[in-house]
Amino acid sequence: APVGAAGPPPAAARPGSSFHEMWRELLPIGRDADSGGYRRHAWTGPDAECRAWFEAQAVGRGLGYEVDRNGNQWAWLGDPAAGDAVVTGSHLDSVPDGGAFDGPLGVVSSFAALDELLRRGARFAKPLAIVNFGDEEGARFGLACVGSRLTSGALTVEDAHRLTDGDGVSLPRAMAAAGYDPEAIGPDPERLAGIGAFVELHVEQGRALDLSGDRVGIASAIWPHGRWRFDFRGEANHAGTTRLADRHDPMLSYAETVLAARREAELAGAVATFGKIAVDPGGVNAIPSRVRGWLDSRAADQETLDTVVGGIRKAAREYADAHGVDLDVVRESFTPVVEFDHALRDELGRILGRDTGLTVPVLGTGAGHDAGILSGSIPTAMLFVRNPTGVSHSPAEFAAEDDCVAGVGALADVLEGLAC
């Protein structure tokens, strides 16, 4: 039953398992024994296991548990209907062969921070919620942040219905197979109207905090970024008998395009990555008929990103023509620059500097987050936890225990400052 938003925490709300226990429970889910990396892709078995874990954490603490129309999970302390809620959380899905921290650190830290506040005997003036956004990485359907995009309206229902995975399974079918009603998906403005602030804690995906010697930082902005599919179509033929001069090899145009992407990114001080490729028919002894490569490109500002991607497209066209290969380029997704809410960011800085008098570093990032998607609808902010190597989207991703503990403490302080 919903509990009152004002006053002391309800008797039902109680600290749950420790950060360690939570981390240990999540660690084996979807983990590849050889690489140590994770494949927790949306609406698959490992994703369901992570979601069951989230539900158990919510229920075990006596929090109000719900799944919204887009499959995002919520754990409520206090009555959501009271409005002006303070929400924290992140995501539990992963990229292919991803690390343990990207996403889960934010969710586990959220439960641990709530436990810390209950132990402090905090008196909540506003409802508080922990959220697990579905399909943040877009590893399966190609589009990142599907859960938050649907909720905010940044992704239309029609476009969501058109998303398919590599096996041709549509998003609605995948959701239905996982036990969710795909007919329910769509914008959720009422839910967003009831939220006063969203704060996402995340492992840093660079080395800014390591270099500055800080455990925790505050996000300033997210670079504009997008994904483009380059589809080169040539002519399949025998690898042993076809003279080089007679070939229409899409792999050559693709390979030259990869080099052009590196050149354009270097020139502009941006980044460009071809991290996924599909080759048809995929025979060692056949010239490919078709090569699809997916470009991820990001830059500090829109103009630079346009220049980089425009340059890559132009080069790809020239290489395709030179080899007698057809080319289509489709922009699959795009996220404009995000400038996090200045007032909320400043408030986080004040809260975190209160006891120490120290200034918490404020940093930008090239990584996308649900907080970035939601920043167009509600005040959002992010906390970053130091990553000593900067490695992310890899099994080698790491954050030291002391830094994770500092992150939980910072998040608890922030939630107390905002909700109590």
Residues 6 or more apart in contact with residue 311 via CB below 8 angstroms: 260, 264, 267
- DSSP summary character for residue 364: E
Helical pair 104-120 and 45-60, crossing angle rounded to 10 deg: 10
Nearer to Mn ion (CB atom), residue 107 or residue 325 = 107
Any binding-site annotation on 132?
Answer: no
C-beta nearest to ligand HGY: residue:
368
**Shortest reach from residue 395's CB to Mn ion, in Å:** 13
Choosing among ligand HGY, Mn ion, none, which partner's interface includes residue 368 (Cβ < 5 to 8 Å by kind)?
ligand HGY
**Shortest reach from residue 328's CB to ligand HGY, in Å:** 23
Nearer to ligand HGY (CB atom), residue 102 or residue 249 = 102
Choosing among Mn ion, ligand HGY, none, which partner's interface includes residue 235 (Cβ < 5 to 8 Å by kind)?
none
The tokens describing 303, both together, are 């103009």
Which amino acid type is present at position 420?
Answer: C
Any binding-site annotation on 161?
Answer: no
- DSSP summary character for residue 301: S
Return residues touching ligand HGY (CB under 6 A).
136-137, 144-145, 367-368
Cα separation, 235 vs 281, in Å, equals: 11
**Shortest reach from residue 225's CB to ligand HGY, in Å:** 7
Nearer to Mn ion (CB atom), residue 42 or residue 325 = 42
Measured CA angle at 191 (ends 86, 407), to 5 deg: 30
Backbone angles phi and psi of 190, in degrees to 5: -65, -40
Any binding-site annotation on 72?
Answer: no
**Shortest reach from residue 92's CB to ligand HGY, in Å:** 13
Any binding-site annotation on 387?
Answer: no
Any binding-site annotation on 91?
Answer: yes
C-beta nearest to Mn ion: residue:
102
Beta partners for residue 224, in sequence order: none
Distances (CA, A) of 7 to 3, 127, 163: 10, 10, 45
Nearer to ligand HGY (CB atom), residue 324 or residue 395 = 395
Return residues touching Mn ion (CB under 5 A).
102-103
Choosing among Mn ion, ligand HGY, none, which partner's interface includes residue 144 (Cβ < 5 to 8 Å by kind)?
ligand HGY
Residues, the chain, total?
A: 420
Any binding-site annotation on 285?
Answer: yes
**Shortest reach from residue 106's CB to ligand HGY, in Å:** 12
Any binding-site annotation on 20?
Answer: no
Nearer to Mn ion (CB atom), residue 239 or residue 267 = 239
Distances (CA, A) of 257 to 137, 224, 233: 25, 22, 14
Helices (H), 123-275: 146-152, 157-162, 171-177, 189-193, 208-212, 250-268
Choosing among Mn ion, ligand HGY, none, which partner's interface includes residue 103 (Cβ < 5 to 8 Å by kind)?
Mn ion
Residues 6 or more apart in contact with residue 246 via CB below 8 angstroms: 237
Any binding-site annotation on 403?
Answer: no
Nearer to ligand HGY (CB atom), residue 196 or residue 366 = 366
**Shortest reach from residue 202's CB to ligand HGY, in Å:** 9
**Shortest reach from residue 352's CB to ligand HGY, in Å:** 24
CB 163 within 8 A of CB 171: yes
Question: Within 10 A of 58 (CB to CB), how many other CB atoms are there?
Answer: 23
- Which residues sit in the known binding site for allantoate? 227, 285, 298
- Which residues sit in the known binding site for Zn(2+)? 91, 102, 137, 202, 393
- Which residues sit in the known binding site? 91, 102, 137, 202, 227, 285, 298, 393
